[in-house]
Structure 1
Amino acid sequence: MPSRSDVITPALLRDWALPVPTGGKEARGTVLVVGGSRFTPGAVLLAGVAALRAGAGVLQLAAAESTAASLSIQVPEALVVGLPETGDGAVRGDPGDLLRGLVAEADVVAVGPGLTDIETTGELLRLVLDAAGRETALVLDAYALGALSHAPELLAGSGRKAVLTPNLTEAKHLLGRDPGDDLDAEAVELAGRYDAVVSLYGHIATPDGRAWREESGDAGLGTSGSGDVRAGLLAGLLSRGADPAQAACWAAFAHAVSGQRLVPRYGRIGFLARELLDEIPYTIATV
Protein backbone atom coordinates (compact mmCIF):
# COMPACT_ATOMS: atom_id res chain seq x y z
CA MET A 1 0.00 0.00 0.00
CA PRO A 2 1.52 3.37 -0.98
CA SER A 3 2.57 5.70 1.82
CA ARG A 4 0.45 8.75 2.54
CA SER A 5 1.94 12.19 2.09
CA ASP A 6 0.54 15.71 1.82
CA VAL A 7 0.90 17.58 -1.46
CA ILE A 8 2.93 20.77 -1.15
CA THR A 9 0.72 23.59 -2.42
CA PRO A 10 0.90 27.38 -2.13
CA ALA A 11 -1.92 27.19 0.40
CA LEU A 12 0.02 24.73 2.56
CA LEU A 13 3.09 26.96 2.44
CA ARG A 14 1.13 30.13 3.21
CA ASP A 15 -0.11 28.41 6.35
CA TRP A 16 3.51 27.49 7.14
CA ALA A 17 5.00 30.91 6.51
CA LEU A 18 8.76 31.37 6.52
CA PRO A 19 10.33 33.46 9.26
CA VAL A 20 10.91 37.07 8.25
CA PRO A 21 14.06 38.18 10.07
CA THR A 22 14.50 41.81 11.05
CA GLY A 23 17.74 43.68 11.55
CA GLY A 24 21.01 43.32 9.68
CA LYS A 25 22.57 40.47 7.76
CA GLU A 26 23.52 38.67 10.98
CA ALA A 27 19.82 38.19 11.71
CA ARG A 28 19.55 36.06 8.56
CA GLY A 29 22.40 33.82 9.58
CA THR A 30 25.67 32.57 8.13
CA VAL A 31 25.78 29.75 5.58
CA LEU A 32 29.04 27.88 5.01
CA VAL A 33 29.27 25.71 1.89
CA VAL A 34 32.04 23.09 1.99
CA GLY A 35 32.71 21.43 -1.33
CA GLY A 36 34.22 21.65 -4.77
CA SER A 37 37.38 20.31 -6.30
CA ARG A 38 39.87 21.57 -8.84
CA PHE A 39 37.48 20.46 -11.58
CA THR A 40 34.07 21.16 -10.00
CA PRO A 41 34.11 24.65 -8.45
CA GLY A 42 30.80 25.52 -10.07
CA ALA A 43 28.87 23.33 -7.65
CA VAL A 44 29.97 25.49 -4.73
CA LEU A 45 29.12 28.65 -6.64
CA LEU A 46 25.60 27.43 -7.46
CA ALA A 47 24.89 26.30 -3.90
CA GLY A 48 26.27 29.48 -2.39
CA VAL A 49 24.38 31.90 -4.62
CA ALA A 50 21.18 29.88 -4.12
CA ALA A 51 21.60 30.29 -0.35
CA LEU A 52 21.84 34.06 -0.76
CA ARG A 53 18.84 34.13 -3.09
CA ALA A 54 16.84 32.21 -0.46
CA GLY A 55 17.64 34.81 2.18
CA ALA A 56 20.92 33.92 3.91
CA GLY A 57 22.61 36.98 5.40
CA VAL A 58 26.28 35.95 5.20
CA LEU A 59 27.83 33.45 2.79
CA GLN A 60 31.13 31.63 3.21
CA LEU A 61 32.59 29.20 0.70
CA ALA A 62 35.29 26.65 1.53
CA ALA A 63 36.60 24.95 -1.59
CA ALA A 64 39.74 23.58 -3.22
CA GLU A 65 42.51 26.16 -2.92
CA SER A 66 43.22 26.20 -6.66
CA THR A 67 39.68 27.54 -7.25
CA ALA A 68 39.43 30.04 -4.37
CA ALA A 69 40.60 33.14 -6.25
CA SER A 70 38.23 32.49 -9.15
CA LEU A 71 35.31 31.84 -6.81
CA SER A 72 35.98 35.04 -4.88
CA ILE A 73 35.64 36.99 -8.14
CA GLN A 74 32.58 35.08 -9.30
CA VAL A 75 30.84 35.45 -5.92
CA PRO A 76 32.10 38.78 -4.53
CA GLU A 77 29.42 38.65 -1.83
CA ALA A 78 31.13 35.68 -0.15
CA LEU A 79 34.12 35.05 2.05
CA VAL A 80 36.07 32.38 0.14
CA VAL A 81 38.59 30.10 1.83
CA GLY A 82 40.89 27.74 -0.06
CA LEU A 83 41.29 24.23 1.34
CA PRO A 84 44.32 21.97 0.74
CA GLU A 85 44.00 19.57 -2.18
CA THR A 86 45.09 16.06 -2.99
CA GLY A 87 47.16 15.40 -6.08
CA ASP A 88 43.94 14.68 -7.95
CA GLY A 89 42.46 18.06 -7.06
CA ALA A 90 40.02 16.81 -4.39
CA VAL A 91 39.66 18.67 -1.12
CA ARG A 92 41.82 16.94 1.49
CA GLY A 93 40.22 15.41 4.55
CA ASP A 94 42.57 17.25 6.95
CA PRO A 95 42.02 20.90 6.01
CA GLY A 96 43.19 22.26 9.36
CA ASP A 97 41.90 24.64 12.01
CA LEU A 98 40.66 27.37 9.67
CA LEU A 99 37.74 25.25 8.43
CA ARG A 100 37.03 24.04 11.95
CA GLY A 101 36.69 27.64 13.09
CA LEU A 102 34.36 28.57 10.24
CA VAL A 103 32.14 25.55 10.98
CA ALA A 104 31.97 26.45 14.65
CA GLU A 105 30.71 29.96 13.86
CA ALA A 106 28.25 29.09 11.06
CA ASP A 107 24.51 28.80 11.52
CA VAL A 108 24.16 26.37 8.60
CA VAL A 109 26.80 24.15 7.01
CA ALA A 110 26.16 22.55 3.62
CA VAL A 111 28.62 19.75 2.83
CA GLY A 112 28.98 17.93 -0.46
CA PRO A 113 28.45 20.04 -3.58
CA GLY A 114 31.30 19.30 -5.97
CA LEU A 115 33.30 17.00 -3.67
CA THR A 116 34.88 14.15 -5.61
CA ASP A 117 36.60 11.68 -3.26
CA ILE A 118 34.59 9.47 -0.91
CA GLU A 119 37.41 8.85 1.58
CA THR A 120 38.41 12.48 2.03
CA THR A 121 34.74 13.50 2.11
CA GLY A 122 34.23 11.11 5.01
CA GLU A 123 37.06 12.81 6.91
CA LEU A 124 35.60 16.24 6.12
CA LEU A 125 32.17 15.15 7.31
CA ARG A 126 33.58 13.94 10.61
CA LEU A 127 35.41 17.26 11.07
CA VAL A 128 32.23 19.23 10.37
CA LEU A 129 30.12 17.17 12.77
CA ASP A 130 32.79 17.46 15.46
CA ALA A 131 33.18 21.23 15.10
CA ALA A 132 29.54 22.22 14.55
CA GLY A 133 27.48 23.47 17.47
CA ARG A 134 24.47 21.47 18.59
CA GLU A 135 22.12 24.06 17.08
CA THR A 136 23.97 24.29 13.76
CA ALA A 137 21.78 23.10 10.89
CA LEU A 138 23.34 20.74 8.34
CA VAL A 139 22.61 20.04 4.69
CA LEU A 140 24.30 16.91 3.34
CA ASP A 141 24.43 16.45 -0.42
CA ALA A 142 26.22 14.42 -3.09
CA TYR A 143 29.44 12.74 -1.86
CA ALA A 144 28.63 13.65 1.75
CA LEU A 145 25.69 11.25 1.47
CA GLY A 146 27.95 8.51 0.17
CA ALA A 147 30.25 9.06 3.14
CA LEU A 148 27.27 9.01 5.52
CA SER A 149 26.11 5.68 4.08
CA HIS A 150 29.39 4.15 5.35
CA ALA A 151 28.94 5.64 8.83
CA PRO A 152 25.24 6.17 9.62
CA GLU A 153 26.10 6.47 13.32
CA LEU A 154 27.44 9.95 12.59
CA LEU A 155 23.83 11.19 12.49
CA ALA A 156 21.56 8.43 13.79
CA GLY A 157 20.50 9.25 17.32
CA SER A 158 22.41 12.52 17.38
CA GLY A 159 19.38 14.78 17.46
CA ARG A 160 21.02 17.22 15.04
CA LYS A 161 19.07 19.50 12.72
CA ALA A 162 20.00 17.87 9.42
CA VAL A 163 18.53 17.57 5.93
CA LEU A 164 19.68 14.94 3.43
CA THR A 165 19.15 15.62 -0.28
CA PRO A 166 19.78 12.35 -2.15
CA ASN A 167 19.13 11.59 -5.77
CA LEU A 168 18.18 8.02 -6.66
CA THR A 169 21.80 6.83 -6.87
CA GLU A 170 22.63 8.36 -3.50
CA ALA A 171 19.42 6.93 -2.04
CA LYS A 172 20.59 3.48 -3.19
CA HIS A 173 23.79 3.88 -1.19
CA LEU A 174 21.93 5.17 1.86
CA LEU A 175 19.37 2.35 1.72
CA GLY A 176 21.82 -0.40 0.79
CA ARG A 177 19.49 -1.45 -2.03
CA ASP A 178 17.72 -0.05 -5.08
CA PRO A 179 14.88 2.33 -4.17
CA GLY A 180 11.40 1.07 -4.96
CA ASP A 181 8.67 2.93 -6.82
CA ASP A 182 7.11 4.39 -3.66
CA LEU A 183 9.50 7.27 -3.01
CA ASP A 184 7.33 8.54 -0.16
CA ALA A 185 8.01 5.27 1.68
CA GLU A 186 11.70 5.34 0.80
CA ALA A 187 12.04 8.90 2.12
CA VAL A 188 10.30 7.89 5.36
CA GLU A 189 12.64 4.90 5.77
CA LEU A 190 15.72 7.02 5.19
CA ALA A 191 14.54 9.72 7.59
CA GLY A 192 14.03 7.15 10.32
CA ARG A 193 17.30 5.36 9.64
CA TYR A 194 19.48 8.50 9.65
CA ASP A 195 17.46 10.61 12.12
CA ALA A 196 17.23 13.47 9.64
CA VAL A 197 14.77 15.17 7.33
CA VAL A 198 15.06 13.68 3.83
CA SER A 199 14.27 15.39 0.53
CA LEU A 200 14.28 12.73 -2.18
CA TYR A 201 13.23 14.05 -5.59
CA GLY A 202 10.51 16.18 -4.05
CA HIS A 203 9.47 13.51 -1.52
CA ILE A 204 10.10 14.87 1.96
CA ALA A 205 9.96 12.97 5.23
CA THR A 206 10.83 13.49 8.88
CA PRO A 207 12.18 10.94 11.38
CA ASP A 208 8.75 10.79 13.07
CA GLY A 209 7.07 9.70 9.83
CA ARG A 210 5.49 12.92 8.54
CA ALA A 211 5.68 13.19 4.75
CA TRP A 212 5.02 15.62 1.91
CA ARG A 213 5.44 15.53 -1.85
CA GLU A 214 6.05 18.22 -4.44
CA GLU A 215 4.25 17.59 -7.74
CA SER A 216 5.30 20.61 -9.84
CA GLY A 217 8.76 19.43 -10.84
CA ASP A 218 9.40 18.75 -14.51
CA ALA A 219 12.07 17.17 -16.70
CA GLY A 220 14.02 20.42 -17.04
CA LEU A 221 15.21 20.18 -13.44
CA GLY A 222 17.17 17.06 -14.38
CA THR A 223 20.16 19.10 -15.48
CA SER A 224 23.74 19.41 -14.28
CA GLY A 225 24.00 21.59 -11.19
CA SER A 226 20.30 21.57 -10.37
CA GLY A 227 20.87 19.55 -7.20
CA ASP A 228 23.51 22.02 -6.05
CA VAL A 229 20.97 24.83 -6.41
CA ARG A 230 18.46 22.87 -4.36
CA ALA A 231 20.99 22.17 -1.58
CA GLY A 232 21.94 25.84 -1.38
CA LEU A 233 18.30 26.93 -1.44
CA LEU A 234 17.67 24.66 1.53
CA ALA A 235 20.66 26.07 3.40
CA GLY A 236 19.48 29.63 2.84
CA LEU A 237 15.99 28.88 4.17
CA LEU A 238 17.44 27.18 7.25
CA SER A 239 19.69 30.19 7.78
CA ARG A 240 16.78 32.61 7.92
CA GLY A 241 15.15 30.50 10.63
CA ALA A 242 13.01 27.81 8.98
CA ASP A 243 12.94 24.43 10.71
CA PRO A 244 14.32 21.48 8.68
CA ALA A 245 10.98 20.07 7.48
CA GLN A 246 9.67 23.53 6.60
CA ALA A 247 12.86 24.42 4.75
CA ALA A 248 12.76 21.14 2.81
CA CYS A 249 9.14 21.67 1.72
CA TRP A 250 9.65 25.31 0.74
CA ALA A 251 12.89 24.46 -1.08
CA ALA A 252 11.28 21.65 -3.07
CA PHE A 253 8.45 23.95 -4.14
CA ALA A 254 10.67 26.95 -4.92
CA HIS A 255 13.09 24.77 -6.91
CA ALA A 256 10.30 23.22 -8.98
CA VAL A 257 8.34 26.42 -9.61
CA SER A 258 11.49 28.37 -10.49
CA GLY A 259 12.00 25.77 -13.21
CA GLN A 260 8.42 26.24 -14.39
CA ARG A 261 9.01 29.97 -14.69
CA LEU A 262 11.83 29.31 -17.16
CA VAL A 263 9.72 27.14 -19.47
CA PRO A 264 8.17 30.00 -21.51
CA ARG A 265 11.69 31.21 -22.41
CA TYR A 266 13.55 27.93 -22.90
CA GLY A 267 11.00 25.13 -23.17
CA ARG A 268 10.63 22.20 -20.80
CA ILE A 269 14.26 21.18 -21.20
CA GLY A 270 17.35 23.17 -22.07
CA PHE A 271 17.50 25.77 -19.31
CA LEU A 272 20.58 25.85 -17.11
CA ALA A 273 20.88 25.37 -13.36
CA ARG A 274 22.32 28.86 -12.94
CA GLU A 275 19.21 30.31 -14.58
CA LEU A 276 17.15 28.97 -11.68
CA LEU A 277 18.99 31.27 -9.28
CA ASP A 278 17.40 34.54 -10.37
CA GLU A 279 13.91 33.04 -10.17
CA ILE A 280 14.18 31.92 -6.55
CA PRO A 281 13.42 35.21 -4.71
CA TYR A 282 10.35 35.98 -6.82
CA THR A 283 9.06 32.42 -6.52
CA ILE A 284 9.33 32.52 -2.73
CA ALA A 285 7.90 36.02 -2.48
CA THR A 286 4.80 35.21 -4.56
CA VAL A 287 3.67 32.02 -2.82
Structure 2
Amino acid sequence: MTLEPPVHLPTRRAAAHKGNFGRALLLGGSRGMSGAIALSAIASLRVGTGLVTAVIPDRCLETVAIFHPCIMTRPLSDDPQGRFALDAAVALDSILPTASAIGCGPGMTTCPGSIRIVERLLHWQLPCVLDADAINALSLLEETVWKQQVADRAQSAPLILTPHPGELALLTGVAASDREAQISTASQLCDDYGLFIVVKGAQTVVVGPSGASWQNSTGNPGMATAGSGDVLTGVITSFLSQGLVAWDAARLAVWVHGLAGDFAAQQHGQAGMTAVEICGGLPQAVKLVTS
Protein backbone atom coordinates (compact mmCIF):
# COMPACT_ATOMS: atom_id res chain seq x y z
CA MET A 1 0.00 0.00 0.00
CA THR A 2 1.42 3.37 -0.98
CA LEU A 3 1.05 6.27 1.41
CA GLU A 4 1.43 8.87 -1.31
CA PRO A 5 -1.96 10.46 -2.01
CA PRO A 6 -2.91 11.72 -5.46
CA VAL A 7 -3.17 15.30 -4.13
CA HIS A 8 -2.89 17.08 -0.79
CA LEU A 9 -5.17 19.39 1.17
CA PRO A 10 -3.69 22.77 2.08
CA THR A 11 -2.75 23.61 5.65
CA ARG A 12 -5.44 25.71 7.30
CA ARG A 13 -4.73 29.38 7.91
CA ALA A 14 -4.65 30.54 11.51
CA ALA A 15 -7.37 33.12 10.82
CA ALA A 16 -9.70 30.69 9.01
CA HIS A 17 -13.34 30.23 10.01
CA LYS A 18 -15.87 27.50 9.27
CA GLY A 19 -17.18 29.34 6.22
CA ASN A 20 -13.79 28.85 4.57
CA PHE A 21 -14.21 25.09 4.54
CA GLY A 22 -17.41 24.65 2.61
CA ARG A 23 -21.10 24.08 3.09
CA ALA A 24 -22.06 20.54 2.13
CA LEU A 25 -25.65 19.43 1.55
CA LEU A 26 -26.33 15.70 1.76
CA LEU A 27 -29.73 14.66 0.39
CA GLY A 28 -31.16 11.25 1.09
CA GLY A 29 -32.62 8.92 3.66
CA SER A 30 -36.04 7.34 3.96
CA ARG A 31 -37.92 5.47 6.65
CA GLY A 32 -35.78 2.48 7.57
CA MET A 33 -32.64 3.87 5.90
CA SER A 34 -31.87 7.02 7.86
CA GLY A 35 -28.46 5.66 8.79
CA ALA A 36 -27.20 5.93 5.22
CA ILE A 37 -27.52 9.69 4.94
CA ALA A 38 -26.32 10.12 8.53
CA LEU A 39 -23.12 8.26 7.65
CA SER A 40 -22.59 10.53 4.65
CA ALA A 41 -23.06 13.64 6.76
CA ILE A 42 -20.78 12.41 9.54
CA ALA A 43 -18.09 11.46 7.01
CA SER A 44 -18.29 14.93 5.51
CA LEU A 45 -17.70 16.45 8.93
CA ARG A 46 -14.83 14.10 9.72
CA VAL A 47 -12.82 15.18 6.68
CA GLY A 48 -13.16 18.87 7.33
CA THR A 49 -16.35 20.41 5.95
CA GLY A 50 -17.15 23.64 7.75
CA LEU A 51 -20.93 23.17 7.75
CA VAL A 52 -22.91 20.03 6.92
CA THR A 53 -26.67 19.84 6.40
CA ALA A 54 -28.62 16.62 5.92
CA VAL A 55 -31.72 17.19 3.77
CA ILE A 56 -34.13 14.39 4.58
CA PRO A 57 -37.78 13.30 4.48
CA ASP A 58 -39.70 14.89 7.34
CA ARG A 59 -40.29 11.74 9.34
CA CYS A 60 -36.55 10.97 9.35
CA LEU A 61 -35.65 14.28 11.00
CA GLU A 62 -35.35 13.21 14.63
CA THR A 63 -33.59 9.96 13.73
CA VAL A 64 -30.90 11.64 11.65
CA ALA A 65 -30.46 14.58 14.03
CA ILE A 66 -29.62 12.29 16.93
CA PHE A 67 -26.70 10.61 15.13
CA HIS A 68 -24.35 13.58 15.58
CA PRO A 69 -24.82 16.98 17.25
CA CYS A 70 -22.84 18.83 14.56
CA ILE A 71 -25.14 17.83 11.69
CA MET A 72 -27.75 20.40 10.74
CA THR A 73 -31.01 19.01 9.35
CA ARG A 74 -33.57 20.29 6.87
CA PRO A 75 -36.75 18.25 6.43
CA LEU A 76 -38.64 18.04 3.14
CA SER A 77 -42.17 16.76 2.65
CA ASP A 78 -42.54 13.00 2.54
CA ASP A 79 -45.02 10.42 1.31
CA PRO A 80 -46.82 7.82 3.47
CA GLN A 81 -43.88 5.42 3.03
CA GLY A 82 -41.42 7.90 4.52
CA ARG A 83 -39.78 8.78 1.20
CA PHE A 84 -39.38 12.18 -0.45
CA ALA A 85 -42.77 13.39 -1.70
CA LEU A 86 -43.32 14.62 -5.24
CA ASP A 87 -43.38 18.25 -4.13
CA ALA A 88 -40.17 17.97 -2.08
CA ALA A 89 -38.03 18.99 -5.06
CA VAL A 90 -39.64 22.45 -5.20
CA ALA A 91 -38.47 23.22 -1.66
CA LEU A 92 -34.87 22.62 -2.71
CA ASP A 93 -34.85 25.97 -4.48
CA SER A 94 -34.65 27.74 -1.12
CA ILE A 95 -31.99 25.39 0.28
CA LEU A 96 -29.51 24.88 -2.56
CA PRO A 97 -28.26 28.50 -2.72
CA THR A 98 -26.67 28.00 0.71
CA ALA A 99 -24.50 25.09 -0.49
CA SER A 100 -21.06 24.90 -2.03
CA ALA A 101 -21.52 21.23 -3.02
CA ILE A 102 -24.26 18.59 -2.98
CA GLY A 103 -24.24 14.84 -2.40
CA CYS A 104 -27.44 12.96 -3.18
CA GLY A 105 -28.67 9.39 -2.98
CA PRO A 106 -27.72 7.47 0.18
CA GLY A 107 -30.77 5.72 1.62
CA MET A 108 -33.12 7.71 -0.60
CA THR A 109 -34.88 4.79 -2.36
CA THR A 110 -36.05 5.08 -5.95
CA CYS A 111 -39.49 6.70 -5.98
CA PRO A 112 -41.29 9.48 -7.89
CA GLY A 113 -40.10 12.08 -5.37
CA SER A 114 -36.44 11.07 -5.60
CA ILE A 115 -36.57 11.02 -9.41
CA ARG A 116 -37.92 14.56 -9.41
CA ILE A 117 -35.18 15.68 -6.99
CA VAL A 118 -32.43 14.32 -9.25
CA GLU A 119 -34.10 15.96 -12.23
CA ARG A 120 -34.05 19.29 -10.41
CA LEU A 121 -30.45 18.96 -9.24
CA LEU A 122 -29.26 18.68 -12.83
CA HIS A 123 -30.50 22.23 -13.43
CA TRP A 124 -28.53 23.72 -10.53
CA GLN A 125 -25.05 25.08 -11.15
CA LEU A 126 -23.40 23.44 -8.16
CA PRO A 127 -20.81 20.64 -7.94
CA CYS A 128 -22.79 17.48 -7.31
CA VAL A 129 -22.24 13.84 -6.37
CA LEU A 130 -24.90 11.28 -7.28
CA ASP A 131 -24.75 7.94 -5.50
CA ALA A 132 -26.91 4.89 -4.94
CA ASP A 133 -30.62 5.56 -5.56
CA ALA A 134 -29.83 8.93 -7.16
CA ILE A 135 -27.98 6.99 -9.88
CA ASN A 136 -30.92 4.63 -10.20
CA ALA A 137 -33.21 7.65 -10.52
CA LEU A 138 -30.92 9.13 -13.18
CA SER A 139 -31.17 5.91 -15.19
CA LEU A 140 -34.97 6.35 -15.28
CA LEU A 141 -34.81 9.82 -16.82
CA GLU A 142 -34.89 10.38 -20.57
CA GLU A 143 -31.32 9.49 -21.56
CA THR A 144 -30.76 12.17 -24.17
CA VAL A 145 -32.12 14.84 -21.82
CA TRP A 146 -29.98 14.07 -18.77
CA LYS A 147 -26.85 13.62 -20.85
CA GLN A 148 -27.35 17.02 -22.47
CA GLN A 149 -27.96 18.62 -19.07
CA VAL A 150 -24.75 17.09 -17.74
CA ALA A 151 -22.80 18.32 -20.76
CA ASP A 152 -24.26 21.82 -20.41
CA ARG A 153 -23.15 22.13 -16.78
CA ALA A 154 -19.80 20.33 -17.11
CA GLN A 155 -17.52 23.37 -16.99
CA SER A 156 -19.22 25.35 -14.23
CA ALA A 157 -20.79 22.61 -12.10
CA PRO A 158 -19.17 19.17 -12.44
CA LEU A 159 -21.11 15.99 -11.79
CA ILE A 160 -19.54 12.95 -10.13
CA LEU A 161 -21.27 9.55 -10.19
CA THR A 162 -20.25 6.86 -7.69
CA PRO A 163 -21.87 3.61 -8.87
CA HIS A 164 -21.23 0.09 -7.72
CA PRO A 165 -21.31 -2.47 -10.57
CA GLY A 166 -25.07 -3.05 -10.33
CA GLU A 167 -25.90 0.64 -10.49
CA LEU A 168 -23.51 1.14 -13.38
CA ALA A 169 -25.19 -1.76 -15.19
CA LEU A 170 -28.58 -0.05 -14.83
CA LEU A 171 -27.17 3.21 -16.13
CA THR A 172 -25.20 1.82 -19.09
CA GLY A 173 -26.63 -1.59 -19.89
CA VAL A 174 -23.19 -3.20 -19.47
CA ALA A 175 -23.24 -6.33 -17.30
CA ALA A 176 -21.97 -5.95 -13.74
CA SER A 177 -19.81 -9.04 -14.24
CA ASP A 178 -17.77 -7.39 -17.03
CA ARG A 179 -15.68 -4.89 -15.09
CA GLU A 180 -13.35 -3.96 -17.94
CA ALA A 181 -16.28 -3.21 -20.24
CA GLN A 182 -17.94 -1.16 -17.49
CA ILE A 183 -14.80 0.93 -17.00
CA SER A 184 -14.45 1.44 -20.75
CA THR A 185 -18.09 2.51 -21.09
CA ALA A 186 -17.82 4.82 -18.08
CA SER A 187 -14.72 6.41 -19.59
CA GLN A 188 -16.57 7.03 -22.85
CA LEU A 189 -19.46 8.67 -20.97
CA CYS A 190 -16.99 10.99 -19.28
CA ASP A 191 -15.38 11.88 -22.61
CA ASP A 192 -18.71 12.55 -24.27
CA TYR A 193 -20.46 14.53 -21.53
CA GLY A 194 -17.79 15.94 -19.24
CA LEU A 195 -18.70 14.05 -16.09
CA PHE A 196 -16.59 12.00 -13.66
CA ILE A 197 -17.33 8.43 -12.58
CA VAL A 198 -16.01 6.54 -9.57
CA VAL A 199 -16.24 2.89 -10.64
CA LYS A 200 -16.32 1.21 -7.25
CA GLY A 201 -14.81 -2.21 -6.67
CA ALA A 202 -11.92 -4.08 -5.07
CA GLN A 203 -9.60 -1.55 -6.71
CA THR A 204 -11.76 1.48 -7.37
CA VAL A 205 -11.09 3.30 -10.63
CA VAL A 206 -11.86 6.99 -11.19
CA VAL A 207 -12.41 8.06 -14.80
CA GLY A 208 -12.90 11.52 -16.24
CA PRO A 209 -12.95 13.48 -19.49
CA SER A 210 -10.17 13.25 -22.09
CA GLY A 211 -9.37 9.64 -21.20
CA ALA A 212 -8.32 10.44 -17.62
CA SER A 213 -8.09 7.30 -15.48
CA TRP A 214 -6.71 6.58 -12.01
CA GLN A 215 -6.71 3.37 -9.94
CA ASN A 216 -6.75 3.43 -6.15
CA SER A 217 -4.19 1.61 -4.04
CA THR A 218 -5.75 1.83 -0.56
CA GLY A 219 -8.55 -0.20 1.02
CA ASN A 220 -9.27 -3.82 1.90
CA PRO A 221 -12.04 -6.47 1.67
CA GLY A 222 -13.45 -5.43 5.05
CA MET A 223 -14.81 -2.33 3.34
CA ALA A 224 -17.36 -4.49 1.53
CA THR A 225 -19.88 -3.63 4.23
CA ALA A 226 -23.17 -1.75 4.43
CA GLY A 227 -22.70 2.01 4.52
CA SER A 228 -19.16 2.11 3.16
CA GLY A 229 -20.31 3.77 -0.06
CA ASP A 230 -22.37 6.29 1.90
CA VAL A 231 -19.21 7.32 3.73
CA LEU A 232 -17.42 7.80 0.40
CA THR A 233 -20.22 10.05 -0.87
CA GLY A 234 -19.80 12.28 2.16
CA VAL A 235 -16.04 12.50 1.67
CA ILE A 236 -16.26 13.42 -2.02
CA THR A 237 -18.94 16.03 -1.29
CA SER A 238 -16.76 17.49 1.43
CA PHE A 239 -13.72 17.87 -0.80
CA LEU A 240 -15.85 19.50 -3.49
CA SER A 241 -17.28 21.90 -0.92
CA GLN A 242 -13.77 22.75 0.26
CA GLY A 243 -12.88 23.87 -3.25
CA LEU A 244 -11.10 20.93 -4.86
CA VAL A 245 -11.77 20.43 -8.55
CA ALA A 246 -13.83 17.34 -9.33
CA TRP A 247 -10.94 15.19 -10.59
CA ASP A 248 -8.89 15.85 -7.45
CA ALA A 249 -11.87 15.60 -5.09
CA ALA A 250 -12.88 12.19 -6.44
CA ARG A 251 -9.38 10.70 -6.39
CA LEU A 252 -8.41 12.07 -3.00
CA ALA A 253 -11.71 10.99 -1.47
CA VAL A 254 -11.33 7.43 -2.74
CA TRP A 255 -7.75 7.29 -1.44
CA VAL A 256 -8.63 8.75 1.98
CA HIS A 257 -11.70 6.51 2.27
CA GLY A 258 -9.58 3.44 1.53
CA LEU A 259 -6.89 4.46 4.00
CA ALA A 260 -9.51 5.04 6.70
CA GLY A 261 -10.73 1.52 5.96
CA ASP A 262 -7.19 0.21 6.36
CA PHE A 263 -6.91 1.91 9.74
CA ALA A 264 -10.26 0.38 10.75
CA ALA A 265 -9.10 -3.08 9.67
CA GLN A 266 -5.89 -2.76 11.67
CA GLN A 267 -7.84 -1.94 14.80
CA HIS A 268 -10.95 -4.11 14.45
CA GLY A 269 -10.16 -6.75 11.83
CA GLN A 270 -11.74 -6.95 8.39
CA ALA A 271 -14.64 -9.22 9.34
CA GLY A 272 -15.91 -7.11 12.23
CA MET A 273 -15.36 -3.57 10.95
CA THR A 274 -18.33 -1.46 9.88
CA ALA A 275 -18.84 1.85 8.11
CA VAL A 276 -18.84 3.50 11.54
CA GLU A 277 -15.23 2.39 12.03
CA ILE A 278 -14.34 3.66 8.54
CA CYS A 279 -15.72 7.06 9.58
CA GLY A 280 -13.60 6.83 12.70
CA GLY A 281 -10.45 6.45 10.61
CA LEU A 282 -11.11 9.47 8.42
CA PRO A 283 -9.50 12.17 10.61
CA GLN A 284 -6.24 10.21 10.79
CA ALA A 285 -6.29 9.70 7.03
CA VAL A 286 -6.98 13.38 6.36
CA LYS A 287 -4.13 14.34 8.67
CA LEU A 288 -1.76 12.43 6.37
CA VAL A 289 -2.91 14.28 3.25
CA THR A 290 -2.74 17.79 4.70
CA SER A 291 0.42 19.55 3.56
Same fold per TM (> 0.5)?
A: yes
Conservation of the 8 A alpha-carbon contact between 1:21 and 1:27: no
- Other structure's SS at 1:36 match: coil
In 1, Cα distance between equivalents of 2:210 and 2:10: 23
Match of 1:157 among 148, 151, 154: 151
Q: Structure 1 residue 118: deviation in Å? A: 3.7
In 1, Cα distance between equivalents of 2:211 and 2:89: 38
Q: Which is worse superposed, 223-232 or 152-161?
A: 152-161
Match of 1:38 among 26, 31, 40: 31
Name 2:249's counterpart in structure 1.
247
In 2, Cα distance between equivalents of 1:11 and 1:74: 33
Match of 1:110 among 81, 100, 103: 103
**Within the alignment, does 1:138 sit opposite 2:128 as a pair?**
yes
Aligned length: 275
In 2, Cα distance between equivalents of 1:238 and 1:21: 16
Extract unaligned runs of 5+ from structure 2. Answer: none
Are residues 177 and 96 of structure 1, via their aligned partners in 2, closer, same or farther at CA, if it must alter by over 3 Å?
closer
Q: Structure 1 residue 207: deviation in Å? A: 1.9
In 1, Cα distance between equivalents of 2:263 and 2:173: 36
Q: Structure 1 residue 226: deviation in Å? A: 0.5
Q: Which is worse superposed, 194-203 or 51-60?
A: 194-203
Q: Structure 1 residue 194: deviation in Å? A: 4.7
Are residues 40 and 186 of structure 1, via their aligned partners in 2, closer, same or farther at CA, if it must alter by over 3 Å?
same
Name 1:181's counterpart in structure 2.
179
- Other structure's SS at 1:81 match: strand
Q: Structure 1 residue 195: deviation in Å? A: 2.7
Conservation of the 8 A alpha-carbon contact between 1:53 and 1:236: no
In 2, Cα distance between equivalents of 1:169 and 1:118: 18
Name 2:197's counterpart in structure 1.
198
In 2, Cα distance between equivalents of 1:245 and 1:76: 31
Q: How does 1:200-215 map to 2 (within 5 A)?
A: 200-201=199-200, 202-215=204-217
TM-score by length of 2: 0.88
**Within the alignment, does 1:128 sit opposite 2:121 as a pair?**
yes
Name 1:119's counterpart in structure 2.
112
Q: How does 1:11-160 map to 2 (within 5 A)?
A: 11=4, 13=6, 16-20=7-11, 22=13, 23-95=16-88, 97-130=90-123, 132=124, 134=125, 136-151=126-141, 152=143, 153-154=145-146, 155-158=149-152, 159=154, 160=157
In 1, Cα distance between equivalents of 2:179 and 2:221: 18
Name 1:225's counterpart in structure 2.
227
Deviations 1:205-231 (A, max 9, x none): 112211000133221111001100000
Conservation of the 8 A alpha-carbon contact between 2:24 and 2:238: yes
Deviations 1:140-190 (A, max 9, x none): 001111121233433431213111100001010111221423254243134
Name 1:169's counterpart in structure 2.
166
Conservation of the 8 A alpha-carbon contact between 1:113 and 1:228: yes
Q: Structure 1 residue 265: deviation in Å? A: 2.6
Deviations 1:207-263 (A, max 9, x none): 221100013322111100110000001111111111111111111111111111122
Name 1:5's counterpart in structure 2.
none
In 1, Cα distance between equivalents of 2:32 and 2:122: 26
Extract unaligned runs of 5+ from structure 1. Answer: 1-7
Conservation of the 8 A alpha-carbon contact between 2:205 and 2:216: yes
Are residues 96 and 166 of structure 1, via their aligned partners in 2, closer, same or farther at CA, if it must alter by over 3 Å?
closer
- Other structure's SS at 1:233 match: helix
- Other structure's SS at 1:164 match: strand
